[in-house]
Chains A and B, each alone.
Chain A
Amino acid sequence: MSAPAGTPCLEVRGISKTFRDGGQTVRALEDVSFAAWPGEFITIIGPSGSGKSTLFNVITGLAEPDAGEIVLACDVARDRAGRVGYMPQRDLLLPWRTVLNNVILGPELDGRSRREARRRARELLPLFGLDGFADAFPDALSGGMRQRAALLRTFLTDREVLLLDEPFGALDALTRRELQRWLLGVWERFRKTILFITHDVEEAVYLADRVLVFSARPGRIVKELRVDLPRPRQTISLLSEDLRRLEAELMIALEAASGGAR
């Protein structure tokens, strides 16, 4: 939305990653570079298999890149584990923990007070649509609720940068719409920097300040689309002219990007 100012809180510099799997090599990422400024909402879209999840694994420190580096809050981060909030594609709630005990996992792993974390979590449960479900086990929740619980867990890590990997990918269209609108509200309240992977063009445009388009394997950034729509966007018409124009532009870029794979 606004022009980048100050220093970025996350810089991805020339990341390449190749998997060697038996005799086969898969080039997942090739020379990916971008920066995220504080409070920015960046969506990442690309054909499946274009290395988007791999990029998140590199940023979180689960995978080491073959080339390039990740800069977090201005220092080259070698030990990156736990420095960003991460929500993987599957919600991965712990089935043996109640919702409340699931969402405080971040503070608990940090060694912060559990009592304090629970108090904060309880306050936020209504905002995350989980009021009255504090003591329920995850298996009792609907898909949308599980996703919101996983999001609350990610927000409660209190990290500046949050990586969300297709959080709404498995939901039906209606629930997804609702959650997108809701997520924007939450994001505006918490002012986090969000990297959000999606394969949905409308979602990518609706949420983002900037959209990064990945090419088919090996993943490269082939287009960067700035979304200058005003915020808050919760009430924006889905048929808005500007929205449609940007979606069309993105669709064209995406088709060109995945052309090689078809």
Chain B
Amino acid sequence: MGQANARPRRASARLLTDVARAVILTAVAVVVLAFFASGVLQLAIEVRAQENLALDTIFPSVSAVRGAWEAHRDRLLEEHIPETLWETLAGLAMATVLGVTIAALMDFSRVLRWLLYPLLVVSQTIPIFAIAILLILIFGFGSGPKITVVVLFCFFPVALNTFSGLQSADPELLSLLRAMGASARQVWTKARLPAAMPSFFAGLRIAATYSVVGAIFGEYITAQRGLGVFLKRSYSSFRLDQAYLAILLTAALSLLLVLLVNLVERLALRWYYTSRRASWRGPGIY
């Protein structure tokens, strides 16, 4: 029946590629280990040099952090947190729309894929700090630049994951739909898009994790309100208890957002979780 037909390569050529592979892998391993060792050494040296720093300033007590919360609760709840939350949600929503659109375009045409893919990667290599300052120079001190920073942080994982999800649709299923007379649009809406949803949510979860940090990053540069400004003011007045409070609040907001994404995912992908009920406990543990 089906005969294997890999043309027999000459043994010497095969030996050469094997040796080359071994050399490359060894070199990579050596380089990684070398950097790892020098990094650890550097840290050790610097920690030893800091011996005389007062520990209780760096690690304020729980009661100090709670004191900071009591003192600033009203402003945090009425000004800073709502501002940060609004920037985060607006940015995340825009990143989702943008990411899905880019994924769809890349899925739609090979040319667009070729054009957009490098742009996507480059967009992640530009230091967002530089862009953020530029945005503030252009647009002023309002929420706009912060929302934009959130979008820059978040659209990439959504775009990339949704794209790979769109590409993952079972080719035999696509053939079946075509054989049943489906139009290209129907193939997309009835098979490719639903097949991409689990990946889309995986991307959205990563985006949600980054989004709050993105907003705070933007606010940190300059803003009138938001957790980022609160954090910045805390540092400039050397109030580390306040800084820890800001860090805790950031973590709590991020976690809440991720839980929200998980909840929506559970509701939207009921099929995905019922079918894997027995064997798989994925990220949707909540």
Contact = CB atoms under 8 A, between A and B. Distances in A.
Contacts of B275: 95, 137-140
B170 interface: yes
A96 B272 contact: yes
Given A49-B1, A94-B190, A140-B275, A86 B176 contact: yes
Interface stretch (B41-49, B143-151, B177-185): B177-185
A110 B190 CA distance: 13
Contacts of B172: 88, 90, 92
B72 to A, nearest CB: 47
Interface centre among A86, A94, A138 (most CB of B within 10 A): A94
Given A137-B274, A261-B1, A62 B178 contact: yes
B197 interface: yes
Nearest to A108: B190
B180 A86 contact: yes
Nearest to A106: B180
Contacts, number: 70
A49 B2 CA distance: 8
A60 interface: yes
Interface string B263-286: 000000111101110000000000
Contacts of B181: 81-83, 109-110
B178 A97 contact: no
Contacts of B175: 62, 88
Contacts of B186: 109
Interface in A107-122: 108-110
B194 interface: yes
Contacts of B178: 61-62, 81
B173 A81 contact: no
Contacts of A86: 176, 179-180
Given A92-B170, A94-B173, A94-B194, A60 B274 contact: no
Main SS of chain A's interface residues? loop
Contact of A48 (B1, B173, B179, B182): B1
B170 A96 contact: no
**Chain B contact residues: helix, strand, loop or mixed:** helix
B1 A109 contact: no
Interface string B180-206: 111000100011001101000000000
A55 to B, nearest CB: 13
Highest count of chain B CB atoms <10 Å: which of A61, A81, A83:
A81
A157 interface: yes
Contacts of A60: 179
Interface string B158-177: 00000000000010110111
A105 interface: yes
A24 interface: yes
A137 B194 CA distance: 14
Interface residues of B, number: 27
A223 B162 CA distance: 51
B268 to A, nearest CB: 10
B2 A97 contact: no
A97 B5 contact: no
Nearest to B274: A137
B180 A24 contact: no
Interface in A38-68: 48-49, 57, 60-62
**Residue with the greatest number of chain B CB neighbours at <10 A, chosen from A24, A48, A57, A95:** A95
A230 to B, nearest CB: 35
Contact of B191 (A49, A57, A94): A94
A197 B175 CA distance: 18
Contacts of B1: 48-49, 261
B18 to A, nearest CB: 25
Contacts of B269: 96
A54 B137 CA distance: 63
B192 to A, nearest CB: 12
A193 to B, nearest CB: 17
A81 B187 CA distance: 13
A106 B176 CA distance: 11
A161 to B, nearest CB: 13
Nearest to A98: B271
Interface string A68-108: 00000000000001110010101010111100000001101
A86 B182 CA distance: 13
Contacts of A57: 179
Interface in A3-51: 24, 48-49
Given A60-B179, A94-B173, A95-B272, 9 more contacts: A24-B5, A95-B271, A109-B180, A109-B181, A137-B271, A137-B274, A139-B274, A140-B275, A261-B1
25 contacts: A48-B1, A49-B2, A61-B178, A61-B179, A62-B178, A62-B179, A81-B179, A82-B179, A82-B180, A82-B181, A83-B181, A88-B179, A92-B176, A94-B173, A95-B272, A95-B275, A96-B197, A96-B272, A105-B180, A108-B190, A109-B190, A110-B181, A137-B274, A140-B275, A261-B1
